[in-house]
Structure 1
Amino acid sequence: MTQQPVSLPAKLINGGVAGMVGVTCVFPIDLAKTRLQNQRSNHQVYRNMMDCLIKTVRSEGYFGMYRGAAVNLTLVTPEKAIKLAANDFFRHHLSRGEQKLSVFKEMLAGSGAGMCQVIITTPMEMLKIQLQDAGRLVAQRNVAVLPALRLGGARAVLSCSYSMGPPAPVRRVSALQITRELLRTHGIQGLYKGLGATLMRDIPFSVIYFPLFAHLNALGKPSGEESAPFYWSFAAGCTAGCMAAVAVSPCDVVKTRLQSLSKSASEEMYSGVMDCFSKIVRKEGPAALLKGAGCRALVIAPLFGIAQVVYFVGVGEFLLGQSPFTLYGP
């Protein structure tokens, strides 16, 4: 019996569900990654990922670890759906007349998927970073204030600038407020700040991830016609995601710095990708380009492992199979 081809709507549902499940599981680590990438060497607020998460919970509460999660959960559905469905679409069209895709064509399909997803990824990351980084900026100001207050006496307080005072709370700002302000001041291009850096990150990531996952997953297939077990797909997704994430980590640091609109007075401003890259290397050293690389690997590995399992389980096929409408392709 010939297996019925899966329609695009089913692929989109699978990608969307996969993205939501994955993001919910790993978002706190993603918040730590953003804050670690944005802090400068001369203003260390967090020592590592665990220190960042502990300080976040203490100062902002448990839900402080999920600042910006609503944006991700809203936009990750179309983002992951586009990414996974576009890769399948390009692989299908590039494989016409061939039983097996060459590595070059697999990389080509991956690059096409990476280019398609930035339509959603760039504004999603732009808004998420503003919300995630707000707590770091407040913590940085408080680190400068508290030592002076602890010294005691009027002399210590008077020696501070007039802007200093009791530790400031994290200012609550919504994604909608940020969006309105960006549209008012910069138009639609305001939401696409850092587009070049996002392309530099996402295209190489997809070029590495999708072919690597396909080959690792194929090793777990009992035979050519059968699918790999779900645990093998999970492990293949985790491995491929981890390796691709670390490989493009410098581009992710540059993208995060460019998309951070709120900066302290001592933090550098950047005019573009090359300016950001050169200033980071010159002022903080080459190692700064790998800030948050461990966190990013911990985010991407389970995210794509979960995504691939949900995708291959076929949630979309199940839902559409129960639908009274005929949404499957011929």
Structure 2
Amino acid sequence: MDRPGFMASLLAGGIAGVSVDLILFPLDTIKTRLQSPQGFNKAGGFRGIYAGVPSAAVGSFPNAAAFFITYEYVKWFLHTDSSSCLTPMKHMLAASAGEVVACLIRVPSEVVKQRAQVSTSTRTFQIFSNILYEEGIQGLYRGYKSTVLREIPFSLVQFPLWESLKALWSWRQDHVVDSWQSAVCGAFAGGFAAAVTTPLDVAKTRIMLAKAGSSTANGNVLSALHGVWQSQGLAGLFAGVFPRMAAISLGGFIFLGAYDHTHRLLLEVGRKSP
């Protein structure tokens, strides 16, 4: 991937990430509180729905930028003909690699953010300091495995579906999709992926919010899922599915639409520059 393409992916991904995380933060807070062990009302209800937003603001740009740089690079590295039957596999591998890299930045931000979302009386920086003091760096990476195990299946569904919908729409209208059309494809792909991966998101939330030293805090996804199933059944496994679908559908529209538009704009500016 050439330098203009690298810079375009970095900036477009970062801008898209900040946009979607800040705009849809209240929906994310509601989803987290619905999934928390103490229940929605005890976790804060509708109060202080911007609790934890500093953590999201700090982590959004580098997290999204890391994902898209990796995603575009792996797609470029595994270049195949657009009509090849291996194209969906290429998108799956690129998305999976992107998530593994992005989670190195996303997980610490997510741990702090989610604890702030269910503890509105505690400041974000204080939560960050407490985690470092009580658990060290590994406390910030609690839930890394569960986050990756959530994000990879999510991306395996979302990105090949997004790329396939764009390709189908382009074929039907006989020209490349516009940015708004890419955004619509992103909304559909994101909403569908959000629905089917909600149990993994519930497990990730429980692990991140668990008390240090508890069995759930060890990060065993199957154990966390089993605990939710035993205590709350199917409804517990799909807790927060509707705000999650709403947030990620809107997020897919904004995130992938903004990425596509900004990426094209930056590439065009790069070609015009001497």
Give the TM interval when normalised to the shorter protein: 0.7 to 0.9
What residue in structure 2 maps to residue 69 of structure 1? 53
Deviations 1:117-151 (A, max 9, x none): 1101111110110111114xxxxxxxxxxxxxxxx
Normalized per residue, which structure has more helix?
A: 2
Aligned counterparts of 2:115 and 2:129: Cα–Cα separation in 1 = 14
**Structure 2 runs not aligned, ≥5 long:** none
Shift in CA distance, 128/183, structure 1 to aligned 2, threshold 3 Å: same
Matched, 1:202 2:198: no
Matched, 1:112 2:83: no
1:284-323 correspondence to structure 2 within 5 Å: 284-314=232-262, 317-318=265-266, 321=269
Aligned counterparts of 1:182 and 1:16: Cα–Cα separation in 2 = 26
Instruction: For residue 275 of structure 1, report the CA deviation from its aligned partner.
Output: 2.2
Matched, 1:258 2:223: no
What residue in structure 1 maps to residue 165 of structure 2? 216
Matched, 1:84 2:80: no
What residue in structure 1 maps to residue 134 of structure 2? 185
- Aligned CA RMSD, in angstroms, stands at 2.9
Contact 1:15 1:81 (8 Å CA) reproduced: yes
Shift in CA distance, 99/221, structure 1 to aligned 2, threshold 3 Å: closer
Aligned counterparts of 2:163 and 2:40: Cα–Cα separation in 1 = 40
Contact 2:116 2:127 (8 Å CA) reproduced: no
Contact 1:113 1:206 (8 Å CA) reproduced: no
What residue in structure 2 maps to residue 145 of structure 1? none
SS in structure 1 opposite 2:119? helix
- The TM-score normalised by the length of structure 2 is 0.87
SS in structure 2 opposite 1:275? helix
Amino acid at match of 1:68: G
What residue in structure 1 maps to residue 189 of structure 2? 240
What residue in structure 2 maps to residue 12 of structure 1? 10
Instruction: For residue 241 of structure 1, report the CA deviation from its aligned partner.
Output: 0.4
Instruction: For residue 246 of structure 1, report the CA deviation from its aligned partner.
Output: 1.0
Shift in CA distance, 107/283, structure 1 to aligned 2, threshold 3 Å: same
Amino acid at match of 1:180: S
Matched, 1:283 2:258: no
Aligned counterparts of 1:316 and 1:228: Cα–Cα separation in 2 = 12
Contact 2:112 2:127 (8 Å CA) reproduced: yes
Aligned counterparts of 2:36 and 2:78: Cα–Cα separation in 1 = 40
What residue in structure 2 maps to residue 24 of structure 1? 22
- The TM-score normalised by the length of structure 1 is 0.73
Identity %: 28
Shift in CA distance, 239/25, structure 1 to aligned 2, threshold 3 Å: same
**Structure 1 runs not aligned, ≥5 long:** 47-51, 136-170
Contact 1:238 1:305 (8 Å CA) reproduced: yes
Amino acid at match of 2:98: A
Deviates more, 1:25-34 or 1:312-321: 312-321
Aligned match of 1:123 in 87, 108, 111? Answer: 108
Amino acid at match of 1:201: R
Shift in CA distance, 93/195, structure 1 to aligned 2, threshold 3 Å: same
Shift in CA distance, 209/318, structure 1 to aligned 2, threshold 3 Å: same
Instruction: For residue 254 of structure 1, report the CA deviation from its aligned partner.
Output: 0.5
Contact 1:36 1:292 (8 Å CA) reproduced: yes
**How many pairs were matched up?**
268
What residue in structure 2 maps to residue 143 of structure 1? none
Contact 1:239 1:301 (8 Å CA) reproduced: yes
Aligned counterparts of 2:229 and 2:172: Cα–Cα separation in 1 = 49
Matched, 1:133 2:106: no
Aligned counterparts of 2:124 and 2:225: Cα–Cα separation in 1 = 28
Aligned counterparts of 1:132 and 1:73: Cα–Cα separation in 2 = 14
Aligned counterparts of 1:280 and 1:261: Cα–Cα separation in 2 = 13
Amino acid at match of 1:69: V
Aligned counterparts of 1:88 and 1:181: Cα–Cα separation in 2 = 37
The structure number with the bigger radius of gyration is 1
